[in-house]
Amino acid sequence: MNVVVVESPAKAKTINKYLGKDYTVLASYGHIRDLPSKDGSVEPDQDFAMHYQNDAKSAKHIKAIADALQGAENLYLATDPDREGEAIAWHVLKVMEEKKKLKGAKVSRVVFNEITKRAVLEGIAHPRELDMNLVNAQQARRALDYLVGFTLSPVLWRKLPGAKSAGRVQSVALRLICERELEIDAFTAEEYWTIDADFLTDKKDKITARLTHLANKKLDKFDLPNAETAKAAAEKVRAGSFSIADVTQKPAKRNPSPPFTTSTLQQEASRKLGFGAKRTMMVAQKLYEGFNLGGETQGLITYMRTDGVSLAMEAMHSARDVIASEYGKEYVPEKPRFYKSKSKNAQEAHEAIRPTDLSRTPAMVAKYLDSEHLRLYELIWKRTIASQMESAQLERTTIDFSDGEGQILRATGSVVRFPGFLKLYEEGRDDVSDDENGNRLPAVKAGENVATDKVREDQHFTEPPPRYSEASLVKKLEELGIGRPSTYASIISVLQDRDYVKIEQKRFIPEDKGQLVTAFLSSFFTRYVEYDFTAQLEEKLDDITAAKIDWKQVLRDFWFDFNTLVEGTAELRVSDVLEELNRVLAPHIFPPTEDGKDPRACPKCDDGRLSLKTGRFGAFIGCSNYPNCRFTRKLGESEDEAGDTTDEGPKELGQDPESGLMITLRRGPYGPYLQLGEPEPKKKPKRVSIPKDIPLESLDFDLAVQLIGLPREIGPHPETGSMITAGLGRYGPYVESDRKYGKLTNSMEVLTVGMNRAVELLAEAKGRGGGSGGRGAAPLRVVGPHPADGADINVKDGRYGAYVTHGGINATIPKGSDPMTITLEDAVKLLAERAEKSGKKPKLAKKAAKAKPAAKKKPASKKPAAAAE
């Protein structure tokens, strides 16, 4: 029996049909183990030892592979043919070795670039050993990403409240988007004018030309800066008698673009199909894994993660046959076209992305595919076929009109003499110049007189650089050598998931927190968001693949300087950080005012100065005279917009029928909220934030009364008798009973949810704190009773590792100590040291009466447990 392991179940099903009954094909469902998200998973002090952990979701897949290996003769690791696939294969091997499941089975690595019967059988017939250079290259990338994320992100949390994370490549991509936005903020439009004239030939053909020379001087872009100069120039054109001074016709040739790589596929799918990078890769993955075409599953395209542009010889010959039969022999070039990647970092030894069978036209597969899969397949098919077609033959024509007095106007156009590959496909571009837009000019000769029909003076303004689209961002990252084909989609997803950017009209706009993170990193971690540094590090990681450099040496070189810089930020004060961000982000948060006044002057008090402030929910703009002046505005909000949220004051909605206190609508730095009554000595009034999904225009007195009354009681749980309540929490609307929480779909449902719906949601919910380290999490072990009060000292697993807890004091268990064997004496000592360091006193339980057992537990605290810093 032979066992074959691939990543996906769809792939497994198809390959199993190809190989037959002597093979068992199983899916790993991607990575079966990874670095756990906690401190110590990579240990620089131990020569970067990496401690992997099996993914809990992979347990059944691991068991299935292990069971299938009982008595197997061969284990074929047939994961994807790239660095990530090599690493997945290695992890499967290591887990099976640890479980001692190989027992005589021969282990081989199998690769194929397409899921067709021919390719799979050929791969099985020619196995190889695991390539540890590829594995180590992936490990180095994973270790670097882990070290940057887990070392730099806590610095952000301490120095820049509201920031979520930083990453080795994501932060550089974010910098591109944010710097473009600062360019746009700082941009000042310049006015310029152009003069166009319509000329009529003797044959009444109309030709439009633009003024290029005025009084024998060639015009630059801003030589006609205003209406006055433009009008004077136009009058000279109107007064002149023009003839054709020169006609130039130059033959030109355009060659087709190479077939798709991952990045160019993402760019074209964005331009032509409106697909995002993530969507493109999901659709391409399915095309690669295959569709049932009339009874047999066939992979329709080759592997879609590649930066190679070459085609197999058989594919080129197949393309030439298709071209000849579909379009004619004149469209077949004399020799096949060979392409070479221009990317200095191209390292994957794969073909370009192409159909597995080029004779399989889009029309032939249309009935088997849905719309989006068909559209992407058609795009790939056309691009591949076009890449082997004859060049397009063009003729570019330039006609100069002169009045003999120094005024010259020029018309340009391009005529397609032979379409070549343009008959099938033309690459999408963001800009197309006038001489390439197919503007056809009539046949004319030098010396012909023409009549001036109309002369137009057109006003223009320079425009700022455009924001990045997914296509242009991927293109820029590739040009800079940052990231790799398989990472672009995940980079973009992470930036959106972290709320660092948003997409409007298919363009990236940085959110305020994205601007803050970028400004912070650019100011205090400059080297690590530099484009050249990141690209050079990518090259070193690629050199690991080629066995040119030791992977641990790459980690050592990076970590020493990086860790030193991180440690140096310990003395960095938040006030210094904010003032630096005030300076860097000035064009964005303090744009120049039209009246020339200081943009940082407080509009509410005489001598206050506006500055970035930080709070629990992130950054905002506030006055330096706080608390005497309480002017605030949202980051990125103009002074005019902020006026409604600060100067207007609270709006009275009416008296609460239960308490008799006034309910007011107010606005703070984090948005609108309701307040019940006014502050009293040592007593704060009740406040409720207005959820984002409740429009302010719909907020009337009745709704305000309901919101201020939250949380509301729904009734006792029919099974437990515990009260069920509905309310608004930090993470949205919820129902709760006995510390179990169910999530509601929207904020208004809090006011209407009934018993049946609440019970259903709670039945699906996990108890609060069910995750690692939560306040309701079960302890790993009970160490014993604390001498001070007899209450248990527990060991728990937290975000930063195992810790002991008692009386609200949490103390991290040092590295090297086994949490399952720590003694009572050591636990008491750790807790005492932690209490002294933090200045907190433990909350001791009342001593139990003699008749009662000393180890009686105190009810769980309502505050969530957290591991010590």
Quote the CA–CA distance of 632 and 649 in Å, as a whole number.
Answer: 12
Q: Any alpha helices (H) in 115-188, and if so which ranges?
A: 117-125, 132-159, 170-186
Contact 190, 470 (CB under 8 A): no
DSSP three-state, residue 569 = helix
Q: Which two tokens stand for residue 479?
A: 């040009």
Q: Which two tokens stand for residue 540?
A: 């070193």
The residue behind tokens 């690692």 is 772
Quote the CA–CA distance of 482 and 469 in Å, as a whole number.
Answer: 17
According to DSSP, the residues that pair with 25 across neighbouring strands are 4
According to DSSP, the residues that pair with 408 across neighbouring strands are 213, 402
According to DSSP, the residues that pair with 732 across neighbouring strands are 729
Quote the CA–CA distance of 632 and 605 in Å, as a whole number.
Answer: 12
How large is the angle between the packed helices 512-524 and 132-159, nearest 10 degrees? Answer: 100
Q: Where are the beta strands (DSSP E) in 173-254?
A: 191-200, 206-214, 217-218, 243-254
Contact 742, 726 (CB under 8 A): no
Contact 509, 500 (CB under 8 A): no
Contact 610, 602 (CB under 8 A): yes
Quote the CA–CA distance of 488 and 305 in Å, as a whole number.
Answer: 11
Contact 111, 5 (CB under 8 A): no
Quote the CA–CA distance of 2 and 114 in Å, as a whole number.
Answer: 21
Contact 661, 655 (CB under 8 A): yes
- Note the residue count of the chain: 869
Q: Which two tokens stand for residue 735?
A: 């129902």
Residue 303 bears catalytic tag: yes
According to DSSP, the residues that pair with 23 across neighbouring strands are 2
Q: What is the dihedral of CA 830, 835, 838, 839, to 10 degrees?
A: -160
Task: Give, in order, the Cα–Cα distances in Å from 152 to each of 147, 521, 572.
Answer: 8, 9, 14
Closest CA to 304 of 386, 387, 377, 388: 377
Q: Where are the beta strands (DSSP E) in 594-656?
A: 610-615, 618-623, 632-634, 651-655
Quote the CA–CA distance of 15 and 329 in Å, as a whole number.
Answer: 38
Using the Cα atoms of residue 145, residue 148, residue 151 and residue 156 in order, give the sign of their dihedral. Answer: negative
Q: Where are the beta strands (DSSP E) in 419-488?
A: 451-461
Maximum distance among all Cα pairs of the chain, rounded to whole angstroms: 121
Q: How far is CA 537 from the centre of its chain?
A: 20
Q: How far is CA 35 from the centre of its chain?
A: 21
Quote the CA–CA distance of 34 and 290 in Å, as a whole number.
Answer: 28
Quote the CA–CA distance of 632 and 297 in Å, as a whole number.
Answer: 62
DSSP state of 366: G
DSSP three-state, residue 143 = helix
DSSP three-state, residue 557 = helix
CA angle, residues 802, 803, 807, in degrees to nearest 5? 155
Task: Give, in order, the Cα–Cα distances in Å from 140 to each of 48, 87, 168, 558.
Answer: 10, 11, 12, 11
The residue behind tokens 């197949």 is 318
The residue annotated as part of the active site, out of 192, 303, 488, 528, is 303
Contact 98, 509 (CB under 8 A): no
First to last CA, the chain: 53
Q: Annotated catalytic sites, by residue?
A: 303
